[in-house]
Amino acid sequence: MLVFYCALSTCSNFKGYYVIRFDAVIHFAGLKAVGESVSKPLLYHDNNIVGTITLLEVMAAHGCKNLVFSSSATVYGWPKKVPCTEEFPLSAVNPYGRTKLFIEEICRDLRNSDSQWKIILLRYFNPVGAHPSGLIGEDPRGTPNNLMPFVQQVAVGRRQALTVFGKDYSTKDGTGVRDYIHVVDLADGHIAALKKLSDPKIGCDVYNLGTGKGTSVLEMVTAFEKASGKKIPLQIAGRRPGDAEVVYASIKKAETELKWKAKYGIEEMCKDQWNWASKNPFGYGSLESKK
């Protein structure tokens, strides 16, 4: 689960052993299902917070003080306005959100105590899509918590219909609006952050990773229908408690300082998601059965 992205690592021969020194860590590891975090908060606090504190201690012990951490737009809570800038007040509205918020605070404390630390917190908006190869994609266990894995399972016939939570929001079509970002763009954002760590001005800094565009649930479904040629039957349900109406990112800071900007729109996101889904209707289980 813990990914050590070994950037610029140096290799030296030390008493016959090769010693690999990590220069930076990209820490993506974390549980991320909001509903599960409500029913199993200790699991989330242990995995996410304890895991991060342990990682930071190991990094400190080995003199590696460069970190890129996957935070989330969830730390904006229910934002009072959009687009969300990095300066918005922070709050958590569920245990999952609290793990992200607490880790951000722990990182800020750490940097305040020791200026050798260089930490970039990336606040993800809504990652969707898949690698264009169709070999890497999302494969959630159980009922998907997020829109696109659910849509994908309807498209391949694993589920009857997509449940849309709330059609009475004051948005263009009544459904919730989010900032979807292609996973390949997201990955590129991490490379940009990694490069930024060498900037002497970096302390513990925060960047949104989003497209800056709001897309409604229905717009996303329409785009997926177009990409896949499949009809997605809908089932309209009430609002989900705790869901915000409209959330999308201000991308100015990332654009200016990371020199990074999302390249892909919802068409590419849906095309690549469908490529993955149609090749692997049962996710990684499909790959297994091909062997």
The whole-angstrom separation of Cα 126 and Cα 151 is 15
Query: Which residue lies nearer to a copy of itself by CB, 79 or 95?
Result: 95
- Nearest C-alpha neighbor of 147 from the set 273, 271, 23, 285: 273
Q: Residues interacting with a copy of itself, by CB under 8 A? A: 38-42, 45-46, 49-50, 53-54, 56-57, 60, 92, 95, 98, 102, 105-106, 109-110, 112-113
Residue 180 designated active-site: no
133: Cβ–Cβ under 8 A, 6 or more apart, which residues? Answer: none
- Amino acid at site 56: L
Token output for 254: 């990332």
Query: Which residue lies nearer to a copy of itself by CB, 98 or 213?
Result: 98
The whole-angstrom separation of Cα 248 and Cα 214 is 6
Query: Which residue lies nearer to a copy of itself by CB, 90 or 236?
Result: 90
Least distance CB 56 / a copy of itself (angstroms): 6
Query: Which residue lies nearer to a copy of itself by CB, 89 or 157?
Result: 89
Q: Quick one: residue 63, left, alpha or beta (phi over 0 = left, psi -120 to 50 = alpha)?
A: left
Displacement of CA 19 from its chain's centroid (Å): 32
Least distance CB 54 / a copy of itself (angstroms): 8
Residue tagged active-site, from 76, 96, 180, 207: 96
Query: Which residue lies nearer to a copy of itself by CB, 41 or 140?
Result: 41
- Amino acid at site 243: D
- Nearest C-alpha neighbor of 84 from the set 194, 214, 184: 214
- The helix (run of H) or strand (run of E) holding residue 261 is none
Least distance CB 278 / a copy of itself (angstroms): 38
The strand pairing partners of 206, in sequence order, are 121
Least distance CB 109 / a copy of itself (angstroms): 4
Least distance CB 22 / a copy of itself (angstroms): 18
- Amino acid at site 250: S
The strand pairing partners of 71, in sequence order, are 123
Q: Which residues are catalytic?
A: 96
